[in-house]
Structure 1
Amino acid sequence: MGKMKRFVDMEYQRPDFEAEKAARRQYVEQIEQAKSKEELVDVIVKEDERSRMMWTMYDLAYIRNTIDTTDPFYEQEMSNFYKEIGELSLLGQQAEEAVLRSPYKSGIEEKFGPLPLRDMETGLKLMSPNVVEDLTEESRLCQEYNRLVSSCTAEFHGETCTFSTLFKYMQNVDRSVRKESFQVWASMYEGIGDRLDDIYERMVAVRSRIAEKLGFDSYISYIYTRFGRYDYGPEDVKKFRGYVKDQIVPVCERLFKEQAESLGLSAVTFYDEQLKHPDGNAAPTGTKGEMLKSAKEMYHELSKETGEFFDFMLEHEMFDLDSKPGKQPGGYCSFLPGVKSPFIFANFNGTSADVDVLTHEMGHAFEAYTASRIYPLSSMTWASSETNEIHSMSMEFLTYPWMEKFFGDKVGLYRKDHLIQALEAVPFMVTVDEFQHRVFEEKPDAAGRKKIWHELEQTYMPWRDYDGNAFFEAGGYWMQRQHIFINPFYYVDYALAQMGAFHFYRMMDEDPKTAWEEYYRLCRSGGSRGYFETLEYSGIGNPFCEETIRGIMEFLQSKLF
Structure 2
Amino acid sequence: MTLHFADLHPPRPTRQTLEAAHAAIHTDLAAGAADRRGTALARWDEERRRYESWSALVHLRFSQDTANAEARAERDYADALAPEATRHEVSVKRHLLDHPDRAALIAEQGAHRVRLWEMDITTFDPAIAPALEEEARLCAEYTELLASARLDVEGTRVNLSGLAPFQETRDRDVRHRAEQARWAFFAANAERLDGLYDRLVTLRHDMAATLGFASYTPLGYRRMRRVDYGPEQVAAFRAQVLEHVVPLVHRLLRQRTAEQGWDRLYAWDESLIDPAGNPRPAGAHDLLIERATMMFDRMGPALGAFFRTMNDGGFLDLRNRDGKAGGGFCTSFPTEGVPFIFANFNGTHHDIAVFTHEMGHAFQNWQSRDLPGIDLLWPTMDAAEINSMGLEFLTWPHMELMVEEGAADRYRRMHLIASLAFLPYGVCVDHFQHEIYADPAMSAEGRHALWRRLERLYMPWRDYGDLDYPAKGGRWQAQLHIYRLPFYYIDYTLALCCAMQFWLAARRDADDAMRRYTALCGQGGSASFTDLVASAGLVSPFSPGALHDVVREAETVLAL
State TM-score, norm by structure 2. Answer: 0.97
Partner of 2:269: 272
Instruction: For 1:521, give the aligned amino acid.
Output: A
* Residues 1:259 and 2:295 are matched in the alignment: no
Alignment check: 8 A CA contact 1:12 1:61 kept: no
Q: Choose which of 442, 446, 449 in structure 1 pairs with 2:447.
A: 449
Instruction: For 1:248, give the aligned amino acid.
Output: V
Change (3 A) 1:241 1:463: same
Measure the CA separation in 2 of the matches of 1:548 and 1:11: 46
Partner of 1:152: 149
Partner of 2:290: 293
Q: Choose which of 325, 334, 337 in structure 2 pairs with 1:337.
A: 334
Alignment check: 8 A CA contact 1:296 1:307 kept: yes
Q: Which sections of structure 1, spanning at least 5 residues, go unmatched?
A: none
Q: Choose which of 496, 503, 506 in structure 1 pairs with 2:504.
A: 506
Partner of 1:399: 395
Deviations 1:445-488 (A, max 9, x none): 11001100000110000111111211111101010000001111
Deviates more, 1:547-556 or 1:385-394: 547-556
Instruction: For 2:553, give the aligned amino acid.
Output: F
Measure the CA separation in 1 of the matches of 2:266 and 2:38: 58
Partner of 1:389: 385
Deviates more, 1:77-86 or 1:362-371: 77-86
Instruction: For 2:377, give the aligned amino acid.
Output: T
Counterpart mapping for 1:523-538 below 5 A: 523-538=521-536
SS of 2:277 mapped into structure 1: coil
State the Cα distance separating 1:212 from its structure 2 match. 0.5
State the Cα distance separating 1:386 from its structure 2 match. 0.9
Deviations 1:211-253 (A, max 9, x none): 1100111100111122122221111111111111111000000
* Residues 1:232 and 2:229 are matched in the alignment: yes
Partner of 1:558: 556
Q: Choose which of 363, 367, 372 in structure 2 pairs with 1:366.
A: 363
Partner of 1:377: 373
SS of 1:465 mapped into structure 2: coil
SS of 2:336 mapped into structure 1: coil
State the Cα distance separating 1:177 from its structure 2 match. 0.9
Alignment check: 8 A CA contact 1:134 1:210 kept: yes
Alignment check: 8 A CA contact 2:58 2:78 kept: no
Measure the CA separation in 2 of the matches of 1:42 and 1:400: 47
* Residues 1:474 and 2:477 are matched in the alignment: no
Instruction: For 2:470, give the aligned amino acid.
Output: F
Measure the CA separation in 2 of the matches of 1:13 and 1:510: 49
Measure the CA separation in 2 of the matches of 1:198 and 1:74: 25
Counterpart mapping for 1:26-37 below 5 A: 26-36=24-34
Measure the CA separation in 1 of the matches of 2:159 and 2:72: 20
State the Cα distance separating 1:103 from its structure 2 match. 4.3
Alignment check: 8 A CA contact 1:262 1:277 kept: no
Alignment check: 8 A CA contact 2:423 2:493 kept: yes
Instruction: For 1:95, give the aligned amino acid.
Output: V
Alignment check: 8 A CA contact 1:263 1:277 kept: no
State the Cα distance separating 1:9 from its structure 2 match. 4.7
Alignment check: 8 A CA contact 1:145 1:485 kept: yes
Deviates more, 1:103-112 or 1:501-510: 103-112
Partner of 2:208: 211
State the Cα distance separating 1:110 from its structure 2 match. 2.4
Measure the CA separation in 2 of the matches of 1:471 and 1:215: 38
Change (3 A) 1:4 1:404: closer
Deviations 1:248-273 (A, max 9, x none): 00000001111112222123211111
Change (3 A) 1:445 1:196: same
Measure the CA separation in 2 of the matches of 1:262 and 1:234: 40
Alignment check: 8 A CA contact 2:516 2:536 kept: yes
SS of 1:547 mapped into structure 2: coil
Moved over 4 A (4+): 103-108
State the Cα distance separating 1:92 from its structure 2 match. 1.6
* Residues 1:76 and 2:73 are matched in the alignment: yes
Instruction: For 1:258, give the aligned amino acid.
Output: Q
Measure the CA separation in 1 of the matches of 2:470 and 2:515: 45
Instruction: For 1:362, give the aligned amino acid.
Output: M
Partner of 2:21: 23
Measure the CA separation in 1 of the matches of 2:196 and 2:65: 21
State the Cα distance separating 1:276 from its structure 2 match. 2.0
SS of 1:333 mapped into structure 2: strand
Instruction: For 2:476, give the aligned amino acid.
Output: W
Deviations 1:519-551 (A, max 9, x none): 011111111111111122111111112221223
Measure the CA separation in 1 of the matches of 2:77 and 2:103: 37
SS of 2:406 mapped into structure 1: helix
Instruction: For 1:136, give the aligned amino acid.
Output: E
Change (3 A) 1:66 1:377: same
Instruction: For 2:114, give the aligned amino acid.
Output: L
State the Cα distance separating 1:295 from its structure 2 match. 0.5
Partner of 2:54: 57
Q: Choose which of 140, 146, 157 in structure 1 pairs with 2:137.
A: 140
SS of 2:348 mapped into structure 1: coil
Partner of 1:99: 96
Alignment check: 8 A CA contact 2:340 2:362 kept: yes
State the Cα distance separating 1:200 from its structure 2 match. 0.4
SS of 1:409 mapped into structure 2: coil
Measure the CA separation in 1 of the matches of 2:439 and 2:535: 39
State the Cα distance separating 1:89 from its structure 2 match. 1.6
State the Cα distance separating 1:124 from its structure 2 match. 1.6
Alignment check: 8 A CA contact 1:14 1:77 kept: no
SS of 2:342 mapped into structure 1: strand
Change (3 A) 1:82 1:105: farther
SS of 1:546 mapped into structure 2: coil
Measure the CA separation in 2 of the matches of 1:305 and 1:105: 38
Q: Determine what percentage of the aligned residue pairs are the same residue.
A: 32
Partner of 1:166: 163
Q: How many residues in Structure 1 have an aligned counterpart in Structure 2?
A: 557
State the Cα distance separating 1:326 from its structure 2 match. 1.3
Alignment check: 8 A CA contact 1:398 1:505 kept: yes
Alignment check: 8 A CA contact 1:40 1:105 kept: no
Partner of 1:284: 281
State the Cα distance separating 1:43 from its structure 2 match. 2.7
Instruction: For 2:452, give the aligned amino acid.
Output: H
Deviates more, 1:500-509 or 1:332-341: 332-341
Alignment check: 8 A CA contact 2:357 2:388 kept: yes
State the Cα distance separating 1:56 from its structure 2 match. 1.2
State the Cα distance separating 1:72 from its structure 2 match. 1.0
Partner of 1:185: 182
Measure the CA separation in 1 of the matches of 2:2 and 2:69: 26
State the Cα distance separating 1:204 from its structure 2 match. 0.3
State the Cα distance separating 1:104 from its structure 2 match. 6.3
State TM-score, norm by structure 1. Answer: 0.96
State the Cα distance separating 1:5 from its structure 2 match. 4.6
Instruction: For 2:519, give the aligned amino acid.
Output: R
State the Cα distance separating 1:111 from its structure 2 match. 4.5
Measure the CA separation in 2 of the matches of 1:15 and 1:91: 13
Measure the CA separation in 1 of the matches of 2:391 and 2:433: 28
SS of 2:229 mapped into structure 1: coil
* Residues 1:126 and 2:119 are matched in the alignment: no
